Amino acid sequence: MLAKREHLKNLPILYKKLIKESGIEESKIDRIAVTQGPGLEPALWTGIVFARELSVKLSIPLLPMNHMEGHIVASLIPDTSLGKEFKILKTIDFPAIALLISGGHTEIVKIKAIGEYEIIGQTRDDAVGEAFDKVARMLELPYPGGPEISKLAEDARKDNIKIKKDSNSEIRLPRPMIHSKDLNFSFSGLKTAVLYLLKKLGNDLENNISLKQRRAVALEFEEAVTEVLVSKITLALELHEAKALIIGGGVVANIHIRKTFEKLALDHSIPLYLPSSGLSGDNALMIALAGSKATIKPSDEGFNAKGNLSL
């Protein structure tokens, strides 16, 4: 409800600012794309009502978009288009495999064409971003936790902290489902393992975990997540003879994950598409561009918000 109230307040202000600063004439807008889901329904609904009123006022079509398609499209926006012409997406070969990692989702999607998606793997419980956020909270770091964990882990790398790869190591976390022969994930056990690890370290030191240990935990957590993602994507690329790899969603801002997938793409000689900086987190450009590629269907009139909309 708090998010809904903020949307109600901010959308008209944002729209006025957009029209003023972009110099776009309202009469030149030919369609409006709005997120239908997935997400928090009251907040989605506020966006839909606002967009619908605007589409009626301007007598133009309104298109319901999927937030996760937006994340796929965000990875295909050429750097040069920022601030200039937004209509063109990078052309890629199909089938492509997309790994979508955000606060609410962890999905592997097979893409036969833009608009033709099949989910071939997903998390059974927590999303990757959610796991980052929860582990950050355990380390008493602010929200969103992903960038905070990433900073700690990068500091650990600079300090050359190394975690021994045997299970007797003081700081060693599991890689859930890494050897399962499917493309699904599970991150809630990893999160619980961090909780127990922190308790154990805290007890040993009378609740006084050193900064070095915090960095080591962040490093080990980030590496555990990345290794699982890499193993599943390697399997997906092989099983589906993919010709392109797309990674999208807020977690792609993570430096270690980006670098690891850049290396994987080189090793597999597969073109990799990542969102440019500023476009990995939620943004309106990805929804506008997904809308610019979509077909207008008369049946789309009068749609509702769908909190659990799937690709």
Contact residues for ligand KG4, defined by CB under 6 A = 102-104, 129, 132-133, 144-147, 150, 249-251, 253-254, 281-282
Subset of residues 262 to 291 that bind Zn ion, contact rule: CB under 5 A: 282
Direct distance between the N- and C-terminal alpha carbons of the chain, in angstroms, rounded to an integer: 26
Q: Which stretch binds Zn ion (CB under 5 A): 17-25, 94-102, 186-194, 207-215?
A: 94-102
Nearest residue to 62 (alpha-carbon basis) of 32, 27, 35:
32
CB of 39 to ligand KG4, least distance (A): 7
DSSP letter assigned to residue 295: P
Nearer to ligand KG4, 54 or 109 (CB): 109
Tell me how many residues contact Zn ion (CB under 5 A): 2
Q: Position of tokens 């796991």?
A: 131
Tell me the two tokens of residue 96: 């492509």
CB of 253 to ligand KG4, least distance (A): 4
Residue 213: which of ligand KG4, Zn ion, none does it interact with, CB under 5 to 8 A by kind? Answer: none
Centre a 10 Å sphere on the Cβ of residue 196 and count the other Cβ atoms it contains: 10
Buried b or exposed e, range 51-77, using 16+ CB within 10 angstroms: bbebbeebebbbbbbbbbbbbbbbbbb
Q: Position of tokens 């807020």?
A: 250
Q: Which stretch binds Zn ion (CB under 5 A): 48-56, 101-109, 187-195, 271-279?
A: 101-109
Residue 38: which of Zn ion, ligand KG4, none does it interact with, CB under 5 to 8 A by kind? Answer: none
CB of 68 to ligand KG4, least distance (A): 8
CB of 123 to ligand KG4, least distance (A): 13
Pairing of strands 106-113, 272-273: unpaired
CB of 174 to ligand KG4, least distance (A): 19
Residue nearest to Zn ion (CB): 102
CB of 191 to ligand KG4, least distance (A): 13
Nearer to Zn ion, 201 or 252 (CB): 252
Pairing of strands 62-66, 32-37: parallel
Nearer to ligand KG4, 55 or 191 (CB): 191
Q: Which stretch binds Zn ion (CB under 5 A): 102-110, 133-141, 167-175, 291-299?
A: 102-110
The 3-state DSSP class for residue 107 equals strand
Q: Position of tokens 């927590």?
A: 126
CB of 301 to ligand KG4, least distance (A): 26
Measured at the alpha carbon of residue 111, what is the angle toward residues 107 and 113, in degrees to the nearest 5?
A: 150
Is residue 125 a contact point for Zn ion (CB under 5 A)? no
Centre a 10 Å sphere on the Cβ of residue 109 and count the other Cβ atoms it contains: 23
131, 251 contact by CB (below 8 A): no
Residue 121: which of ligand KG4, Zn ion, none does it interact with, CB under 5 to 8 A by kind? Answer: none
Residue from the set 102, 106, 123, 254 that interacts with Zn ion by CB under 5 A: 102
Nearest residue to 197 (alpha-carbon basis) of 175, 178, 214:
214
CB of 243 to ligand KG4, least distance (A): 25
Q: How far, in Å, are 131, 135, 174, 206 from residue 193 at the CA level? A: 11, 10, 7, 19
Residue 146: which of Zn ion, ligand KG4, none does it interact with, CB under 5 to 8 A by kind? Answer: ligand KG4
Give me the residues that bind Zn ion (CB under 5 A), please.
102, 282
